Amino acid sequence: MEPRGIINLYRPYLNLPDYAIPVSLQEGSTPLIPVPRLAAEIAPGFELYVKYEGMNPTGSFKDRGMTVAISEALGRGARTVICASTGNTAASAAAYAARAGQRAIVLIPEGKVAAGKLAGAVAYGAQVVQIQGSFDQALSLVVALTEKHPLALVNSLNPYRLEGQKTAAFEICDVLGGAPDLLCLPVGNAGNITAYWMGFQQYHQEKGTGLPRLLGVQAEGAAPLVLGHPVNFPETVASAIRIGRPARGEQALQAAEESGGEIIAVSDAEILSMQRSLAGEGLWVEPASAAGLAGLVKQVREGRIDLRGMRVVAVCTGHGLKDPDTITRAMDPPQSLPAEISALESLALQEQS
Ligand code: AN7
């Protein structure tokens, strides 16, 4: 059998101690899907690909970092892992801890986690704790707790998370035969953009394939890196990135700047509109995952970027199934018909406007 999972495929390129015991669910190797029709709607003359990270085992990119963080934690004998999460990290930590035979404790902001993520964390057997406060407060609690006690912190402050997440950059370069010209992605706690920059730089040092410009995108109601100061009460429909004090904010800003790119913000309406456009290509992603491309569209609309001749990758970080409520809340109930062929005929034979 071909080796699978990012530790198997990329171990020589990961800073992972020998004592690590690999714990994998065959994460990674996610599709890089061309979306030419959507590209043509955005601007003429450029190539656009979606890195569809919702295809990871628990439905988000977090699995790349979690396989490495849990493998290291298991190797040094950690029995309990803990994290704060807007949802995806919680589900991923729960799954990998289950596979490793560890206890997982996950802290989530009360009432602010999408249904598929909460259900995942529970299904994988984590102890789920709702904190009466924000993600940022939950994160500072787990940081304080893990400084005092021997519990393994598996938030992206843990450097092994970034080691795993950088492999998405390797995969993109492997498939394209080099770096794209531009990479756009959502930014919350800012671990992922930091990890991508590490990955692209490492690939470039090994193979001289160039570096992309990074366009990081926050939600307007949760945009500390755009405003230049923390946001105490972040709010956005993209609950995954409802974060006001990004743990790796400084590094993210530095990565964007070094790459010649930037971090910008888009509105919830722009995020939801791009979620619909992607679904129109058969790619249903959770709202946060549409933010990167929504940011690209905004840059084009404002005349801040000329995409002609460029190869662009948009990272879609989580699957639409994570957050079904965003869709179902906004819809009318589906039309109801009697179980008769005549009723169906008049519907099916009607021209769609
Ligand atoms: C779908 O799960 O922070 O900038 O606790 O779930 O690396 O934080 C999730 C973040 C983008 C932002 N897209 O990535 C968590 C959490 C999705 C996400 C982000 C998240 P970072």
Q: What was the pLDDT predicted at 353?
A: 61
The best mutation among 60, 81, 105 to test binding of ligand 1, ranked by most ligand atoms within 8 Å of the C-beta, falls on: 60
**Percent of the chain residues past pLDDT 70, beyond the cut:** 100
Q: Whose CA is nearest to atom 8 of ligand 1?
A: 189
Q: What was the pLDDT predicted at 3?
A: 81
Q: According to the 3-state scheme, what is the secondary structure of 142-207?
A: HHHHHHHCCCEECCCCCHHHHHHHCHHHHHHHHHHCCCCCEEEEECCCCHHHHHHHHHHHHHHHHH
Average pLDDT over residues 130-138: 97
Report the separation in Å between the CA atom of 105 and the middle of ligand 1, taken as the mean of its atom positions: 18
Average pLDDT over residues 183-209: 97
Give the model's confidence band at 351: pLDDT under 50 very low, under 70 low, under 90 confident, else very high.
confident
Q: Cα 139 to chain center, whole Å? A: 18
Asked if residue 83 has its Cβ within 6 Å of ligand 1, the reply is no
131 by DSSP, 3-state: which?
strand
DSSP run (H or E) holding 265: strand 262-266
Shortest-distance atom of ligand 1 to CA 322? 1
Judged against a pLDDT cut of 90, whether residue 105 lies above it is answered with yes
Report the separation in Å between the CA atom of 8 and the middle of ligand 1, taken as the mean of its atom positions: 24
Q: What is the pTM of this model?
A: 0.97
Taking the C-alpha atoms of residue 141 and residue 305, their distance in angstroms, rounded to an integer, is: 41
Asked if residue 194 has its Cβ within 6 Å of ligand 1, the reply is no
The fold of the 62-157 domain, in CATH, is Rossmann fold (3.40.50)
Report the separation in Å between the CA atom of 60 and the middle of ligand 1, taken as the mean of its atom positions: 9
Report the separation in Å between the CA atom of 166 and the middle of ligand 1, taken as the mean of its atom positions: 14
Judged against a pLDDT cut of 90, whether residue 306 lies above it is answered with yes
Give the model's confidence band at 163: pLDDT under 50 very low, under 70 low, under 90 confident, else very high.
very high
Judged against a pLDDT cut of 80, whether residue 61 lies above it is answered with yes
Report the separation in Å between the CA atom of 175 and the middle of ligand 1, taken as the mean of its atom positions: 24
CATH number of the 6-59+161-325 domain: 3.40.50.1100
Domain parsing of the chain, residue ranges: 6-59+161-325, 62-157
Asked if the domains 6-59+161-325 and 62-157 are classified in one and the same CATH topology, the answer is yes
Judged against a pLDDT cut of 90, whether residue 2 lies above it is answered with no
Shortest-distance atom of ligand 1 to CA 243? 3
Question: Mean pLDDT across the chain, nearest whole number?
Answer: 97
